[in-house]
Structure 1
């Protein structure tokens, strides 16, 4: 689940994204201050908007809003007050974590891409990476599926030149770290960085 607000651009509206998937066709249903966006295929709610958002959740700066149990409780209460029956099941696990590049292989269909297997603690991900400096046995920052980059881009399961990729190995520039180098390349962490631990700026 990802939550955004853009009062200056759109108004006092909270945008709640429940899935990283993008259905081909959607339907809209409005109940009070809640507008539900549903997949036409299975009628599943994929996102919803909360109007008059500050009345329900309080004041937040524009952009992506960090998920907390308190915020989710307020959003759940907003749904209930508008007679929307929808239970929010939220994953509070960190989306930016320390990963260990276990293997690196050349992509069969792209000279500048590599296929990496990355241990992120509780699972091993296959990530297609185009950084020129990625190597096996590095500790790196991984944005897992569902992560929201500082640019606002949401990380989704993808397929790059025919190869599935789940997550992204990040550069300092993509993470908008201060003094990030201008040249292309992923951020390589210290060898003693703990695999699976949350990465924070």
Structure 2
């Protein structure tokens, strides 16, 4: 997993790379413009690259940045040059995916949560959902572990009231779509959008505008 973000207005010319969830007792070590964050047993959690434009050139994107394998290789060369042994791995796996709710049951310890099984195109994941409009058979947007939401929140595997959940079913507001309804409720897509299709923000915005 590799999640990278770039926000020069608030952080300057710094690329944040996240590869694992924060741990309670993590440490950081800086060498030059590179800071490596590790957890238990020296597990790599993330890397901060200061003055990253010297490594990658100009970055036009803001927020989450999707790097090419060549760009990741340049970051790894910077890690090695700074004396670190850790390396990043390129990750092109879509993290926002169209899913179909194939099972929908009440949570045993909640009066509003439901446990869903979501077909993501060849495989199924369990996602706990609290949206009031969620229902069996819907085509939805699933944010999977490794997804960075528009507000900067990163999705990780977790549990809701003791039930494992592998992601989140998203509302239009959470996806920051233009003119998104402000009331609670997931974004329900047409049945013609196949499970496993990578989510397209522009197409979803057009769909919402046409409703």
Same fold (TM over 0.5): yes
Measured after TM superposition, the shift of residue 177 of structure 1 is 1.3
* Separation (CA, whole Å) in 1 of partners of 2:155 and 2:63: 16
The worse-fitting range, judged by mean Cα deviation, of 83-92 and 140-149 is 83-92
Measured after TM superposition, the shift of residue 187 of structure 1 is 0.8
* Separation (CA, whole Å) in 2 of partners of 1:156 and 1:137: 24
The worse-fitting range, judged by mean Cα deviation, of 76-85 and 49-58 is 76-85
- After the TM superposition, which residues 12-23 of structure 1 pair with which residues of structure 2 at under 5 Å, given as runs? 12-19=13-20, 21-23=21-23
Structure with more helix by fraction: 2
1:83 matched to 2:83: yes
* Separation (CA, whole Å) in 2 of partners of 1:186 and 1:62: 25
Measured after TM superposition, the shift of residue 89 of structure 1 is 2.1
Q: What are the superposed Cα offsets for residues 167-200 of structure 1, whole Å, 9 maximum, x if unpaired?
A: 1111111111122122211111111111101111
Contact 1:113 1:128 in 2 (8 A): yes
* Separation (CA, whole Å) in 1 of partners of 2:132 and 2:172: 14
Aligned length: 199
- After the TM superposition, which residues 12-161 of structure 1 pair with which residues of structure 2 at under 5 Å, given as runs? 12-19=13-20, 21-39=21-39, 41-60=40-59, 61-161=61-161
* Separation (CA, whole Å) in 1 of partners of 2:139 and 2:145: 19
The gaps in structure 1 that reach 5 residues or longer are: none
The gaps in structure 2 that reach 5 residues or longer are: 202-211
* Separation (CA, whole Å) in 2 of partners of 1:24 and 1:96: 28
Measured after TM superposition, the shift of residue 103 of structure 1 is 0.5
The worse-fitting range, judged by mean Cα deviation, of 118-127 and 144-153 is 118-127
SS of the residue corresponding to residue 8 of structure 1 reads helix
Q: After TM superposition, which residue ranges in structure 1, 4 or more long, deviate above 3 angstroms?
A: none
Contact 1:2 1:67 in 2 (8 A): no
